[in-house]
Amino acid sequence: MVKIPTKAPAAIGRALSANLTDPSLAVDLCLASFARGAESANVQQVPITKALAGTLRGALGETLRARATAWNERNLVLKPYVPLVHLGPQDIEVLDLTAFPAIQAEVSVLSSIAKLPGFESEEAFIAGLRYSVVVVHVPDGPPVCVFRAMNAKRELQRSRWLGIVLKGGAFHALADEVYLLDLGVDCISCGDLLFIFQKGNFQTIFRFFDEIRRTARETLQVLRQRDLIEGFEAFEQACLGHVQMAAKLHSAATATYFPALTVKRMKAVAKQFGRKIQFRQSNGRERAVFDPDDKWELLRLLDDDLLASPLTSLKYEVNSKRVV
């Protein structure tokens, strides 16, 4: 079961309490683009004026203060990230980036802003825009990075709308290219932790299900070597062809019991909970049988989706793998 890192409460408190009213607090703006077929995002630093930096601090400060107030009043709840579980409005999910190296590598480049290429508005980069990130260089610790999903550049003069601006008492057509930044908060990184406020946008920003499929392939390789499943090829195809199944397989692989999982244990749990999973002997070895007509049954068993109530003695399937 996934647990909340012990340092998470202090880290989110630190991130939300950043003093953005301090004019000496440095902030940077970056945009990230993802080209088709690329393995990682192209993150570029956007040069901004001192005045715009102040505007970013002010707008972002209002957003974070509202969340800081909710956090201090205990109206927000930290929960470990679970791919298939709905995120409520009071929830902040926590992702330990050390468990997801590809995402960690993408976030870590923001710790060295000076090494990032400058934004040059190339057409290919604009076409693949994925997110913006405001990097707040808080003292005595790693930067606080605020991520927001975004679409490709919108230039007002290319749309059916006419942009106008008031100058010298008269309106003029707005001819310059305009980039619209939404300073909401989808997720915030602080060190090796990522705090998720908008789950769908987080998964879009970091192409999370691409990462899930990658780790699912690694897990399937382990299961193949351990030879626990009859009909393994069909099981593998089902897991890789359905993103929710891949996510469930990933969840099973991160559980503490997984390294010691045996057919004997699977069979005992299946019997205890009356699951319709067959076990078959062949070539001197017993295996769990994958049934293509009930693709989820074996995966539910692998992911420990079963529990017994100590109050009623009833048995249940779990719809959330959060630790309580």
Same domain, 221 and 245: yes
Same domain, 194 and 217: no
Phi (first) and psi of residue 208, to 5 degrees: -60, -35
The pLDDT assigned to 322 comes to 44
Same domain, 16 and 114: yes
Residue with tokens 């691409």: 210
Kindly state whether residue 200 falls inside one of the protein's structural domains.
yes
The pLDDT assigned to 162 comes to 66
Which of 255, 238, 241, 256 minimizes the C-alpha distance to 296? Answer: 238
Between 132 and 155, name the one with better pLDDT.
Answer: 132
Q: Which of 157, 188, 206 is the last residue of a domain?
A: 206
Length in residues, the chain: 324
Which of 215, 247, 206, 222 minimizes the C-alpha distance to 99? Answer: 215
Q: What are the pLDDT digits (tens) for 19-50?
A: 998 998 999 999 999 887 777 889 999 999 99
What proportion of the chain, given as a percentage, has pLDDT over 90?
42
Between 165 and 294, name the one with better pLDDT.
Answer: 294
CA-to-CA separations, 41 to 22, 83, 157, 193, 215, in angstroms, rounded: 31, 21, 28, 19, 19
Count of domains for the chain: 2
Same domain, 58 and 163: yes
Q: Which of 206, 240, 256 is the last residue of a domain?
A: 206
Q: What's the mean pLDDT when you consider all of the chain?
A: 84
Same domain, 77 and 136: yes
The pLDDT assigned to 305 comes to 54
Kindly state whether residue 3 falls inside one of the protein's structural domains.
no
Q: Which of 206, 235, 250 is the last residue of a domain?
A: 206
Q: What are the pLDDT digits (tens) for 106-151?
A: 999 999 999 999 998 888 888 888 899 999 999 888 999 999 998 7
The pLDDT assigned to 189 comes to 96
Residue 324 clears pLDDT 50, i.e. is over it: no
Kindly state whether residue 323 falls inside one of the protein's structural domains.
no
Kindly state whether residue 127 falls inside one of the protein's structural domains.
yes
Same domain, 51 and 174: yes
Lowest mean pLDDT across 95-99, 204-208, 279-283, 301-305: 301-305
Same domain, 179 and 54: yes
Same domain, 195 and 227: no
Average pLDDT over residues 271-281: 87
> Which range of residues forms the domain containing residue 43?
8-206
Kindly state whether residue 120 falls inside one of the protein's structural domains.
yes
Give the pLDDT band of residue 6 (cuts 50, 70, 90).
Answer: very high
Give the pLDDT band of residue 191 (cuts 50, 70, 90).
Answer: very high
Q: How many helices (H) and strands (E) does the chain have?
A: 10, 15
Kindly state whether residue 295 falls inside one of the protein's structural domains.
yes
Same domain, 146 and 226: no
How far is Cα 213 from Cα 244, in angstroms, rounded to an integer?
Answer: 10
